[in-house]
Amino acid sequence: MTQPDPAAPAGPSPLGRRERMVLAAVAAALALLLFWLRGGLQPQAPLEQLARRSPELPLALSSGRPTIVEFYADWCEACRSMAPAMAALESEHHGELNVVLLNVDNPRWSPEIDRYRVNGIPQLELFDGSGSSIGRSLGARSRPELASIMTALIEETPLPLLAGVGSLSPLAGGEAQNPSQAVPAQAGPRSHG
Active site residues: 76, 79
Number of other residues whose CB lies within 10 A of the CB of residue 82: 25
Counting Cα atoms < 13 Å in the Cβ hemisphere of 76 gives 25
The amino acid at residue 80 is R
The backbone region for 192, taken as left when phi is positive above 0, alpha when psi lies in -120 to 50, beta otherwise, is left
Q: Which residues contact 23 (CB under 8 A, 6 or more apart)?
A: 15
